[in-house]
Structure formats: C-alpha cells, structure tokens
Structure 1
Amino acid sequence: MAEKHFKYVIIGGGVSAGYAAREFAKQGVKPGELALISKEAVAPYERPALSKAYLFPEAPARLPGFHVCVGSGGERLLPEWYTEKGIELILNTEIVKADLASNTLTSAAGATFKFDILIIATGSTVFRLTDFGIPGADAKNIFYLREIDDADKLNEAIKAKKAGKAVIVGGGYIGLELAAVMKINNYDVTMVYPEPWCMPRLFTPEIAAFYEGYYAKKGVKIIKGTVAAGFDSNSNGEAIKLKDGRVLDADIVVVGVGAKPLTTLFKGQVEEDKGGIKTDAFFRTSVSNVYAVGDVVTFPLKMYEEIRRVEHVDHARKSAEQAVKAVKASEEGKTIDEYDYLPFFYSRSFDLSWQFYGDNVGEAVLFGDSNPETPKAKFGSYWIKDGKVVGVFLESGSAEENKAIAKVAKLQPPVTSVDQLTKEGIGFACKI
C-alpha cells in the first residue's frame, strides 16, 4: 500500500478533531497539507447529542444536523466542507500502530501515513462491564453509548420493544441523561449505582436529592449502594443479579460507568500523568512535534495551579483550538497566551437544565428552592474555599444568570458570610 505524507495529521474523529480541523482552516492551511483520520464512518460530530435528542421518540436529531461545530453556534462542517478546504477526511480507518520516532501511523489495513506534526484527538472509550469480569456481561441487549453506531443499535432496540423495561447501570452524567431519555420513550426505568447519591463527582447530597426526587416523580426507580454482579439472558431479555441479592428484569440494559482515555497507541512514547497524556499549556506533549487535545490530555489548569484531566465537550473544543493556534504560532516564531481554562459542565434532561463553573471544593452553600415537588424549581450552590467563591452550580438559570455564575467562578470574589450567599442566592452572582 502506498504511503501518504501530510504536513499535519489529526488522529481521532470526535469533537476535538472537528474543532481542530476548523481552526486549521481558519489559520490558512493549504490544500493537501492536513489529514483527519477517524475509525468512524462519519465526519466529526457533536457527541452530546447521542445521549439526548438522538434517542427522542419525536423529531430525533440526525446527521447531518449535528456535525461539528454547531454545538458552539459555529458553522456545520459537512463532509463537503473538508473537500472544499482541501483537507483529506480519511474515515473507516483505524490506526493500530503509532511510531512517533519515525513520524508514522499504520492502519489496520496496513496503510501508512507520515506526518510532520501530529494532533492526538483520540478521546476516551467507555468502561465495559466485561472489563470487570462480570458474568454474562457480553449479552447482546447490554448497550453502551460513545459513538453513533452505539446510539443506532440502542435506538433499534428501543423501537423493537415498545414500552419495555430498561435498567440503567451508573448514576453519573450518562446514567442520568439516559434514564430520562428511556422514560421519554415510555420505558419502565430503574437506575442502579453503587454510590450513596447520583453524580457524586459534582453533586453534593443536597443537590443530588433534588434530581433523585425529580426522577422519582417522573417514575424512575432508583436503587443505590449496589452494583450489577451478573446477567442471565433469557427469551424475555436480561435478568440482572445485583450484589445485594435482588434480581431485576430488563429488555434493555444501558451501561454508563465512566470512560478511560485512549492512550494505548502512544504508551511509552509520550509522558503520561493522571491517566492522560501530559502536555504544556499549548497542548504540546513531551515529543515536540506531537500535540494532544480533549479527554485524552492532562494539562496545566492555570487558575488552580495544578494539572488535571477534564472530560467535557467544552474543553474538547477549546483545547483543540488552542493546540492548532500554538502549532501555527510556533511555525511563525510567534507566541500565544497560555491556555487558561475555567472548568464548565452542563447537562439537560427532561425539562431540567443545569450549568456548573469552577471548582467544587471547600464548603458548599445551597440557595433557592430545591424541592423536587415545586413546579419549575430553581436553585443552586456556591462553593467557598479560603473565604472566596470558587465554584457555582445553577439549575434552570437564564442565559444572563449562567453568564453571571461563570464570571463569579472566574473572578473568585471574597465572601464575608455564608448567610449572605444563602439569602441573596443568584442575586449575589448577578451583581458581581
């Protein structure tokens, strides 16, 4: 097979890859200089759609509707866009070997690609129950959600069994979003997770109590403090044995128990830290012509003077843009500002929508009405550390209020009394 040589190669087909391609185009990449290699069959798209609108029974989202960069209000990059810009979009191509010393990538089919500069945008892959050696976890009606193929398989299963039973394994982001979407599809839904409350990485027990109460009101059953210990397939679907001895029946099991960065190709060739590929504030790795972006990266979080790995679409987009700007700047002998990222997370499910900015450390102060029985409940939380507000969470905020909480998390204003925050609530953020 012929070897192809490109000045720049992006490996990966997710959000970061698409945003990096757009930034290269903005920076004036010449036709034939850039290739984007993805194992998926479609051009890069906005992954968050998969656990939300893609699975809606009415007016579901479909490609080409959510190709990047529509998730951030940008232009939609259809396959034709890559052609017009002279960017080679190499799909259905899995890279199985990366030799950074010789600047070479090799595909499963044996094709080789040479690069001058590589951008690693491989993202992460889901943890599977088979990774934990759970008996029967390879059954056909156990689903995961990471790529569009996964969403298509799940969608077919939902349509095949109207008003069936679903068990969601996991109480994080994906678990909560999928429990909502399965309920919207008129399924009988049970969530199972080992933690004492949902989304423990971000939610305090008080915040979680609202969502658990809200989901219960919607008819979602929640079983906490236990895990799936085994599966028995039968003609009716799955019998799920829980560690606490209970057995649940399900037509569909959807698993969302976290993800791990896809670093395997580069093991031993680049420096790693905290499970990700270590980079500087320009996303350059320990190999000078190799950059890495998105979920796969452990990078300096300037605001908090520490290094972190962040799994979120917002960072996937922004890190990609920063890396490409850095590549172009170094070619021209210029400098750009260091990446100064404000952590941001959001989720939408049912008619709820929350945003969080900053760091959830220190003392959490709840404000507003967090009673799940209240129609249109609106509440939030501030986190205070060393006398300053370092993080803010808000459910059902307006666009202005969400901007205000971002500003507060960035500026970290001092706070004299906790009572002031409880009393003023969102008003405190709005006057900063």
Structure 2
Amino acid sequence: MAGDAAAHGIREVDPDGTILLIGREPTGPVTRPALSKKLWTDPDFAFDQVWLPTADDTGAELLLGESVVGLDREARTVTTDAGLTLGYGALLLATSGEPRRVDGVEPSGRVVYFRTVRDYERLRDLAGGDRHVVVVGGGYIGTELAAGLVQNDTRVTLVFPQETLTGHTFPAHLAAHVQRRFADAGVTLVGGTRVTGTESGADGVTVTLDDGRVLAADAVVVGTGIEVDTSLAGGAGLAVDDGVLVDEHLRTDDPHVWAAGDAAQYPDRILGRRRVEHVDNATTMGTQAGRNLAGADEPYTHTPFFYSDLFDLGYEAVGRLDASLTTVEDWHEDGFGAGVVYYLDDAEPDRVAGVLLWNVWDATDRAREVIATQRDVRPEALRGRIR
C-alpha cells in the first residue's frame, strides 16, 4: 500500500516520469486491511474491491513475483532474484516484512502464516462448513481473524500468550469485556498459552501447546506480527535500527534513496522517532515519499492513527497503547458503549503517550492535539477533553 501511495504521490508532482513497482508478492497492490476485516464481515464488499488500480491511475509498471536482492548505490541499480538489473533516478524502499514465525509451526497446506491475498484465499478454502480453525496470536491480526472466521460458519480456537485477550493493550476491565464478547460469539479462548508445534496430515492438523495439551483442527492460521525486512537496506550500507532510518523528508543517508511504510523508522513530530505498522502510516507516508522522490522536498508531518473492528466493537487510536501505563478513563456510555482512554507517559509524567477512542469517531485530530499540547494530566483535566 505504501508503494501504491508513492506512485500517486509521484504523479501529484511529476506527470511524466517513469515509475516501476517491484513486489515479491505475485499479485498487485491491495487494500490489505480488508484481508482480515471486510472480506469476512461485510457481505457488500466483493473480492474484486480489494485490488488497487495502481497502473491505471498512475501509469506505473508492475514487476510482480520478484524480490530485489541487490542494491548498488554507486551505480544506482537494483538487481532482482531473477537476475534482472534496473537503473533508477530515485529509489523508495517499502519492503515491509514477513510474518513472524513461531518455533515448531511449519507452513503447510493447512498451516497459513497470514499476510497476502494468496493467504486469504487459502484460508477461505480451509474455513467454513463448521470446520475447526486454530488462530495463533492475540494481537491485531489474530483477533480480527478469529472474529471474522467465527462469523463465517467456522469453529474457532484462539491461542494467545496473555492471560486476558487484549490485556497487554487495554485496561483490565475493558480487556475482560472484549474477552467476554469473543466468548459470547462462540470463540474458544486458550489464554496464557503458546503453540510449540504443529503436525499436518491429509485430514487435518494437530496443534501442541506448551502446557502439553493437543488440539485437533482442520487448519491453523498464524497472526503474530511481522519481522521487518531491512536486509536490502542494511546490505547496501544504509543505516538500520528496527527499520530503515530516515529523516523528516523520509530520505535515508543516501540522497537518492527514501523509505516508507512498515519498514521506515522516522522522526514523528509529536511522538518522537518510531516505526509504525498500520495502514494510515503506509498511505500517508507513501504519498509523501512519492512526492519527495519527484522533487517536492517536503517534511512528513503526519502522526498516524490505527484502528480495529471486532464484531460490534470498534476503535481508533493515536500513540502508545500499553496496559502497563497509568490510564485515565472517560466513559461516555455505560457498559463500554463509547469512551476515551488516556495513557500517561511514565517517562514524562506530564504528558499523554496515547489515546484510545472506543466507539468515538472523527476525533483523531483531537487525540493528536491532546498528545502534543496537554500538560495537565490529572483525571479531572483530561475527562471531557474529547467527547
């Protein structure tokens, strides 16, 4: 999605320059959040709506199913795993990452590490018909997939390391509410546990847990985050540290190379240097990087938000959501119907580190303002700041 946005950003500045997008996936850019959300939960969202019309909108050429394995900064060329060498005037690294592997869990026809369109199609084939799918991971992808699958005639067991689902992110009683919602929907919750191995067969897969239990399933889907891919940048001598390091213009320490999206560690104007793996960051940063590739030389000033939808529960958030931080809660409706949770920065006690908007919409700009300017973090000063 960052690459697609970059192509559009280039065209905002340069209507004529040639654009080539190279991607290891065999399919073109897609609306990636739909793979774990709308395609499972919105009957009006058709599969063909997932594709982004990059080539039609921007005239970019797409080279798909190939990985760039070499970067020669002096010659300004990249080389693919198929042996193709291409020159560039300006280069964007939007390499994102690969699904984080779980020791003992090998991918197979029945074990899917979820990331791509092909992964979605494979999981669709394995789900439904009252089949049993074990979901590994209690973060964004794991929870979204568990919610989507159970709404599509699938028996779901969700295995996650936290004692309470989302307990590492939300205050304890809100996390307990989310966990009850999953249980009420029919998801079997196995918390405080990790998967240590799987064994696939013709008729199913067995899943071994670290407490010795063994689960029988039709399929396993793993959603435990990504390992960011900095190999190309690091191999070319660019500065990397949990991401490719860029300045406020998204430029690396090479004047002809930029980075954007999941793989870019950038200086956020409000939150400080960080790396963000969410769609708002991919699209806004990608657009700005594209503009700068075309010569705009503008700073990236956007602080991204992120969101998730779980059954009838939905939220948007800005900044750091960490249940270990002190929180101030401001519930506007009883029973967690709607409200705001402010996470206080323990390192800087007079600052808000993050804002959770629970069923509160069109308020991300106000959340950014609170994080940037609010210095009175007493509960009575924070409650009512965002309604």
Matched residues in 1 for 2:76 and 2:108: separation? 40
- Which residue, 257, 262, 277 being the options, matches 1:295? 262
Aligned twin of 1:237: 204
The reply to whether residue 92 of structure 1 matches residue 65 of structure 2 is yes
Residue 214 (structure 1) aligns with: 181
Q: CA deviation at 1:124?
A: 1.4
Aligned-pair distance for 1:205?
A: 2.9
CA contact (8 A) 1:390 1:412 kept: no
The aligned residue for residue 359 of structure 1 is: 320
Contact 1:356–1:391 (Cα < 8 Å) also in 2: yes
Unaligned runs of 5+ in 2: none
Separation of aligned partners in 2, 1:369 and 1:226:
35
Contact kept in structure 1, 2:332 and 2:339, CA below 8 Å: yes
| CA distance in 2: counterparts of 1:355 and 1:45, whole angstroms | 22
* Alpha-carbon distance in structure 2 between the residues aligned to 1:16 and 1:119: 10
For the 8 Å contact 1:94–1:107, the answer to whether it is kept is yes
Q: Answer yes or no: is the 8 Å Cα contact 1:121–1:292 preserved in 2.
A: yes
Q: Which of 76, 81, 86 is the matching residue for 2:57?
A: 81
Q: How many residues align?
A: 382
Q: Is the 8 A contact 2:157 2:188 kept in 1?
A: yes
Partner residue in 1 for 2:278:
312
Aligned residues of 2:135 and 2:145 also touching (Cα < 8 A): yes
Q: Identical aligned pairs, as a percentage?
A: 30
**1:46 maps to what in 2?**
31
Give the corresponding residue for 1:3.
none
Residue 379 (str. 1) matches residue 339 (str. 2): yes
Pairwise CA distance, 1:259? 0.3
In structure 1, the partner of 2:109 is 140
Q: Is contact 1:143-1:150 (8 Å) kept?
A: yes
Mapped partners of 1:165, 1:370: distance in 2? 36
Counterpart residue type for residue 80 of structure 1: D
SS of the counterpart of 2:250? coil
- Taking structure 1 as the reference length, what is the TM-score of the superposition? 0.81
Structure with the greater relative contact order (CA < 8 A, sep ≥ 6): 1 or 2?
A: 2
Q: Single out whichever of 216-225 and 378-387 deviates more from structure 2.
A: 378-387
CA distance in 1, matches of 2:257, 2:110: 40
**1:267-282 pair list within 5 angstroms:** 267-282=234-249
Partner of 1:246: 213
SS in 2 for 1:288: coil
Cα contact 1:270–1:286 (8 A) shared by 2: no
Contact 2:316/2:358, CA 8 A, preserved across alignment: yes
Instruction: Identify the residue that residue 66 of structure 1 maps to in structure 2.
Output: 50
Structure 1: 4+ residue segments shifted above 6 A: none
2:95 counterpart residue number: 122
| 8 Å Cα contact 1:49/1:61 also seen in 2 | no
Q: Specify the alignment match of 1:149 in structure 2.
A: 118
RMSD: 2.5
Q: For 2:185, give the aligned amino acid.
A: K
Report how far residue 341 of structure 1 moved: 3.4
Q: Structure 1 CA distance, aligned partners of 2:263 and 2:386?
A: 33
Contact 1:172 1:257 in 2 (8 A): yes
Q: Is the 8 A contact 1:210 1:370 kept in 2?
A: no
Distance 1:78 1:258 in 2: 26
CA deviations over 1:197-237 (Å, ceiling 9, x no partner): 33456333333222112111112121111111122334541
Deviations 1:115-145 (CA, angstroms, capped at 9, x unpaired)? 121111111110123xx2x1x6334211122
Corresponding residue number in structure 2 for 1:397: 360
With structure 2 as the length reference, what TM-score do the two structures score?
0.90
- C-alpha separation between the residues in 2 aligned to 1:97 and 1:274? 19
Q: Quick one: distance in 2 between partners of 1:121 and 1:176? A: 26
Local SS of the residue matching 2:75? coil
Displacement of 1:318 in angstroms is: 1.5
Name the SS of the counterpart of 2:294 in structure 1.
Answer: helix
- AA aligned opposite 1:103: R
- Structure 1 residue corresponding to 2:287, chosen from 304, 309, 321: 321
Shift of 1:370: 8.7
- Give, as a single letter, the amino acid of the residue that structure 1 aligns with 2:196: A
Structure 1 residue 163: deviation in Å?
0.8
Query: Which position in structure 2 is the counterpart of 1:12?
Result: none
Q: Is the 8 A contact 1:43 1:79 kept in 2?
A: no
Superimposed CA distance per residue, residues 392-413 of structure 1 (whole angstroms, 9 cap, x where no aligned partner): 11221243x455434433x432
Matches within 5 A, 1:325-344: 325-329=291-295, 335-336=297-298, 338-344=299-305
For residues 287 and 237 of structure 2, the distance between their equivalents in structure 1, rounded to whole angstroms, comes to 21
